[in-house]
Amino acid sequence: MKYKVVFFDLDGTLTDPREGIVNSIQYAADYYGIKTEKQDLLKYIGPPLKDTFKELLGERYTDKLGEEAVSKYRERYANGGIFENKIYPNVKETLALLKEKGFVLCTASSKPQVYVKQILEYFDIDKYFDYVGGATLDGKISRKEDVINRVISDNGFSPDEILMVGDRKYDLTGAEKMKIDAVGVLYGFGSYKELSAEKSVALIDNIKQLTDILK
């Protein structure tokens, strides 16, 4: 068995957070007088929040304003948005099976670690994870490759024993930068076109298919 460790993205991979994230982005955008359509905001599920507001604020953007916008987002997200969320089908069963088979399971999310922990606990899947990796609230660690690097260094993993699983190109490119293999999931927020353009060992339609890859 080549892989011993599996890193999971959270949003769009384990859970569907669209309602909470989109509502919170829109809340912050409204504060700055930016008119948005919810459907147009789905593309912002995945990348760091600061990048999202850099695009939305356009020429008005400054680092200070970006940080303020992220705080505004979290004002809404932390007070309800975090739980406007659903777990995807077959996630619990797949995590339980992988754990039973002896795999080490970790998250590697661009969402702040404190929120990742709350969500895993909310859906009662925290018991399957050996390590919860996420971004820092101050934004110093937010890009996928930085999160992955932190999880590897904190645990002393070898890159060749890890498989990253995620739904956006950031998961696949972040894995490639850290020299680990990746699987893209097509039921999240990244299209087939987006994911197929990046390096992966497989693209899957259902998380259950992971068990075939990890035989």
Residues 112 and 134: their CA atoms lie apart, in Å, by: 5
**69-107 confidence digits (pLDDT tens):** 999 999 999 999 999 999 999 999 999 999 999 999 999
What predicted TM-score, i.e. pTM, was given to this entire model?
0.93
Q: State the total domains in the chain.
A: 2
117 and 126 Cβ atoms separated by less than 8 Å: yes
Residues 142 and 110: their CA atoms lie apart, in Å, by: 5
Q: Is the pLDDT of residue 1 over 70?
A: no
Given the residues 9, 11, 146, 181, the one annotated as active site: 9
Provide the β-strand partners of residue 7.
106, 164
Q: How far apart are the first and last CA of the chain?
A: 7
164 and 71 together in one domain: no
Q: Please confirm, yes or no, whether 181 is among the known catalytic residues.
A: no
Per DSSP, helices labelled H in the chain are 18-31, 49-57, 63-77, 91-100, 113-122, 144-155, 169-177, 192-196, 210-213
**Which residues are CB-contacts of 17 (< 8 A; sequence separation ≥ 6)?**
10, 11, 45, 84, 85, 119
Q: Which of 64, 83, 102 is the last residue of a domain?
A: 83
Question: Which domain range does residue 52 map to?
Answer: 18-83
**13-45 confidence digits (pLDDT tens):** 999 999 999 999 999 999 999 999 999 999 999
Q: Is the pLDDT of residue 182 over 80?
A: yes
156 and 203 together in one domain: yes
- Position 195 confidence tier, pLDDT thresholds 50, 70, 90: very high
Tokens of 58: 């356009």
CATH number at residue 194: 3.40.50.1000
Residue 83 burial (CB count, 10 A): 14
CATH number at residue 71: 1.10.150.240
- Position 139 confidence tier, pLDDT thresholds 50, 70, 90: confident
Residue 27 burial (CB count, 10 A): 15
Residue 107's SS3 state is strand
Mean pLDDT of 189-211: 97
179 and 99 together in one domain: yes
Residue 19's SS3 state is helix
128 and 195 together in one domain: yes
49 and 70 Cβ atoms separated by less than 8 Å: yes
Residues 146 and 126: their CA atoms lie apart, in Å, by: 22
140 and 181 together in one domain: yes
